[in-house]
């Protein structure tokens, strides 16, 4: 994962609540076995319907997607996060995120930023009023600034450190090998194992 | 202070706890399918890592698989995905219940069927409906592909403990009200983000009164309220369901397991961060009218006035007028299937409604059993004949039209009464319109050609 520190770019305003991962990345694109190249399929049906706000010239190339509450609800498909990142977004700002989607984002270095609904509304309005507005997100300082908006966001220290350093989380966990092995040695024998049965 | 069931399950699996970090949790069972795993296996290979515990991992093919015509009917991209799973499982020594296997099926149907899903376990899968397994008193939740890779490599997962939420349903369910209606009623009450950040424990006499199949339906839909997990404390009914299944503990192991499982429940003085109480008598057969599972009304109701822009968008997409009686909504398709409602009990209830009647001329209806085993058992008791005689298509097992990754999809503008779990825009096919209902309500809609109260049929 590439380290995440400072994100600067224009805002893509998506003023919708409960944007589910089926909308972000429809099922027909989940058959691919690659991790990259999902960008062109993001919001496929909404874009194909025509007049989709994020397709306007002034919002193309935006780095910060700003959306309504419960963003990324529904399916666990990480393809949704891959697609947004591949489409050029480096952060998603919303009043709240679905749990699995948020987790998928931080694993790949797409920064989920939770801000109060009122602040999110102001960011949406900024992008509508002046699409050239640049938002600046400083992960180290945990701040978002754009136009007159200046806000601080919360993120747990471990996730923050992982993002700032671009750490390979699996490598980190593998350092705990002795603790994992010790836990395994304590597990009761009656727990299911696939090699012991014939089904 | 007493502990909740979720708290006990969580604490019992902490490998490492460090202040300021998510806990490192041990995973007892990892379920794998073809769609969310190929990139995980690929990254694992590129990093020169192996699967730590293939013996705690099983795989199946469900999302992509055609429900008729076998593997040959799959499109080349889907087939490549299935072949990738086969190769990955072969290389890592993971048991695979692939296409054509007598145990193949939807991952959340076969886990319990095989007796792999047991009380007290931590279970993860790259699928949001993993919450299903919580019906056995397990801590089960969906994860993304990066986390799948983490579990493959380490058999652990890093996670922050969710807050505790109790949803208590007391009393007796009225006739015609099923577990699906309990789930839809709860989501309508708390909203599609109402469970966010929480693990829900379902409690109360109405929940206790549900069969294991019904409990799985309720826990399955936890994610539709935004909850990471849903669970029900195990009881004698749970133990009876598990006993004797292929991977259930045997002999002295069974005795020890029972002893451990009997302690799995929230302490009487356990405190939940949030509590919701619902009277069973207030529940009815529900139908969703919109494009998220929280937008539901009783079958006798009307399409509501839009409360906000989200509702307006939903009504426009669904092509419905506010004030229209729900029972006047004509449908084109019926889908009885999915990890929510495709177990033997679901098919039995639907068949009871269908027996001796005919599917409406205007409806194309299909039944997709949750697993090859469910299909075989249903056929052994003649359910397939009942459905076929009525005009239903009887298919092979898979996720099918719940998410439309295989050839089973709605055409643009088609309207479907579906026993699945999501009515999102385009979920069952681009431009398709989904109304979520219970299996008997889906069966009744197939016969009537429109949404209808199964209790009046």
The DSSP annotation for chain A comes to -----EEEEEEEEE--SS-BHHHHS-GGGTT---SS--GGGTTHHHHHTS--GGGSGGGTT-SEEEE-SSBTBS---THHHHHHHHTT--EEEES-B-HHHHHHHHHHT-EEEE--HHHHHHHHHHHHH-TTPEEEEETTTTEEEETTEEEE----HHHHHHHHHT--HHHHHHTTHHHHHHHHHHS-TTS--GGG---
Tell me the backbone φ, ψ of residue A157, rounded to 5 degrees. Answer: -65, -35
Q: What is the pLDDT of residue B322?
A: 98
CA distance B236 to B93: 35
Nearest to A95, CA basis, from A74, A118, A114? A114
Under an 8 A CB cutoff, do A193 and B422 touch?
Answer: no
CA distance B4 to B266: 4
- Using an 8 Å Cβ cutoff, are B60 and B107 in contact? yes
Q: Which two three-digit tokens encode residue B174?
A: 């009225």
What ipTM was reported for this prediction? Answer: 0.97
- pLDDT tens per residue across span A125-178: 999 999 999 999 999 999 999 999 999 999 999 999 999 999 989 999 999 999
- pLDDT tens per residue across span B51-78: 999 999 999 999 999 999 998 899 999 9
- Tell which A residues from 158 to 177 touch B, by Cβ distance under 8 Å: 158-159, 168-170, 173-174, 176
Average pLDDT of the residues of chain B: 97
Under an 8 A CB cutoff, do A31 and B64 touch?
Answer: yes
Angle at B77 between CA B332 and CA A30, to 5 degrees: 65
- pLDDT tens per residue across span B356-375: 999 999 999 999 999 999 99
Contacts of B308 (CB under 8 A, 6+ apart): none
Q: Give the number of C-alpha atoms closer than 13 A to the C-alpha of residue A27, restricted to the C-beta side.
A: 24
- Using an 8 Å Cβ cutoff, are B212 and B135 in contact? yes
Nearest to B417, CA basis, from B384, B453, B391, B383? B453
Percent of chain B with pLDDT over 90: 98
Q: Kindly tell me if the per-residue pLDDT of A197 is higher than 80.
A: no
Under an 8 A CB cutoff, do A31 and B77 touch?
Answer: yes
- Residue of B114, B126, B196 with shortest CB distance to A76: B126
Q: How many other C-beta atoms can be found within 10 angstroms of the C-beta atom of residue B251?
A: 8
What is the dihedral sign for C-alpha A30, A35, A41, A43? positive
Residue A198, sorted as left (phi over 0), alpha (psi -120 to 50) or beta, turns out to be alpha
Q: How confident is the model at residue B1 (pLDDT cuts 50, 70, 90)?
A: confident
Tokens 């990093």 sit at which residue?
Answer: B47
- pLDDT tens per residue across span A80-117: 999 999 999 999 999 999 999 999 999 999 999 999 99
Q: Which of A193, A194, A195 to mutate to test the interface with B (most CBs of B within 10 A)?
A: A194
Smallest CA–CA distance, residue B454 to chain A, in Å, is 29
CA distance B443 to B176: 13
Measured in residues, chain A has a length of: 199
Contacts of B382 (CB under 8 A, 6+ apart): none
The DSSP H or E segment spanning A82 is: helix A79-86
CA distance B305 to B146: 42
Q: How confident is the model at residue A195 (pLDDT cuts 50, 70, 90)?
A: confident
Q: How confident is the model at residue A199 (pLDDT cuts 50, 70, 90)?
A: low
Q: What is the pLDDT of residue A198?
A: 52
Q: Kindly tell me if the per-residue pLDDT of A1 is higher than 90.
A: no
Contacts of A48 (CB under 8 A, 6+ apart): none
pTM for the complete prediction? 0.98
- Using an 8 Å Cβ cutoff, are B241 and B212 in contact? yes
| pLDDT mean over B341-347 | 98
Under an 8 A CB cutoff, do A199 and B246 touch?
Answer: yes
Using DSSP's 3-state secondary structure scheme, residue B115 falls into: coil
């Amino acid at each position: 994962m590439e380290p995440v520190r400072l994100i600067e770019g224009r805002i893509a305003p998506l003023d919708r609540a409960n944007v589910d991962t089926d909308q972000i990345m429809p099922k027909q694109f989940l058959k691919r076995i690659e991790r990259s190249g999902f960008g062109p399929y993001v919001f496929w049906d909404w874009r194909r319907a025509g007049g989709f706000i994020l397709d306007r010239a002034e919002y193309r190339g935006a780095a910060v997607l700003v959306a309504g509450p419960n963003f990324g609800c529904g399916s666990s498909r990480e393809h949704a996060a891959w697609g947004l990142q591949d489409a050029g977004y480096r952060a998603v700002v919303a009043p709240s995120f679905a749990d699995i989607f948020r987790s998928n984002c931080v694993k790949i270095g797409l920064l989920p930023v939770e801000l109060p609904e009122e602040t999110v509304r102001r960011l949406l309005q900024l992008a509508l009023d002046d699409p050239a507005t640049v938002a600046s997100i400083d992960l180290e300082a945990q701040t978002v600034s754009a136009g007159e908006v200046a806000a601080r966001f919360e993120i747990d220290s471990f996730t923050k450190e992982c993002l700032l350093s671009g750490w390979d989380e699996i490598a980190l966990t593998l350092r705990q090998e002795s603790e994992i092995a010790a836990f395994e040695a304590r597990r009761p024998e009656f727990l299911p194992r696939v090699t012991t049965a014939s089904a | 202070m007493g502990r909740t069931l979720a708290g006990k399950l969580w604490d019992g699996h902490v490998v490492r706890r460090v202040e300021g970090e998510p806990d490192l949790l041990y995973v007892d069972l990892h379920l794998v399918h073809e769609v969310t795993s190929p990139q995980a296996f690929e990254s694992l290979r590129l990093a020169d890592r192996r699967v730590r515990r293939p013996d705690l991992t099983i795989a199946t093919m469900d999302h992509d698989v055609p429900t008729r015509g076998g593997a040959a009917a799959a499109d080349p991209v889907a087939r490549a995905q299935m072949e990738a799973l086969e190769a990955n499982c072969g290389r890592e020594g993971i048991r695979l219940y692939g296409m054509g296997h007598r145990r193949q099926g939807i991952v959340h149907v076969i886990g319990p069927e095989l007796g792999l899903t047991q009380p007290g376990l931590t279970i993860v899968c790259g699928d949001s409906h993993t919450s299903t397994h919580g019906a056995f008193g397990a801590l089960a939740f969906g994860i993304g592909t990066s986390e799948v890779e983490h579990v493959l490599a380490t058999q652990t997962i890093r996670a922050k403990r969710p807050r505790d939420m109790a949803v208590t349903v007391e009393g007796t369910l009225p006739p015609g009200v099923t577990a699906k209606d309990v789930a839809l009623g709860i989501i309508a009450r708390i909203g599609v983000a109402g469970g966010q950040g929480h693990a829900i424990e379902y409690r109360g006499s109405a929940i206790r009164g549900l069969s294991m199949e019904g409990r799985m339906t309720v826990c399955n839909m936890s994610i539709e309220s935004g909850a990471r997990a849903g669970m029900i404390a195990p009881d004698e009914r749970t133990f009876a369901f598990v006993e004797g299944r292929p991977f259930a503990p045997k002999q002295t192991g069974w005795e020890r397991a029972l002893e451990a499982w009997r302690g799995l429940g929230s302490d009487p003085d356990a405190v939940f961060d949030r509590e919701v109480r619902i009277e069973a008598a207030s529940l009815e057969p529900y139908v969703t009218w919109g494009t998220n599972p929280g937008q539901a009304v009783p079958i006798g109701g009307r399409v509501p006035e839009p409360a906000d822009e989200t509702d307006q968008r939903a009504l426009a997409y669904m092509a419905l007028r506010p004030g229209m009686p729900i029972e006047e909504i004509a449908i084109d398709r019926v889908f009885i299937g999915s990890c929510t409602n495709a177990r033997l009990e679901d098919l039995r209830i639907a068949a009871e409604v269908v027996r001796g009647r005919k599917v409406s001329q205007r409806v194309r209806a299909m039944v997709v059993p949750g697993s090859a085993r469910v299909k075989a058992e249903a056929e052994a008791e003649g359910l397939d004949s009942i459905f076929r005689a009525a005009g239903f298509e009887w298919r092979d097992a898979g996720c099918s039209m719940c998410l439309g990754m295989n050839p089973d999809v709605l055409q643009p503008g088609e309207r479907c009464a579906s026993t699945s779990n999501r009515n999102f825009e385009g979920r069952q096919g681009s431009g398709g319109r989904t109304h979520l209902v219970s299996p008997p309500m889906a069966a009744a809609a197939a016969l009537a050609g429109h949404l209808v109260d199964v209790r009046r049929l």
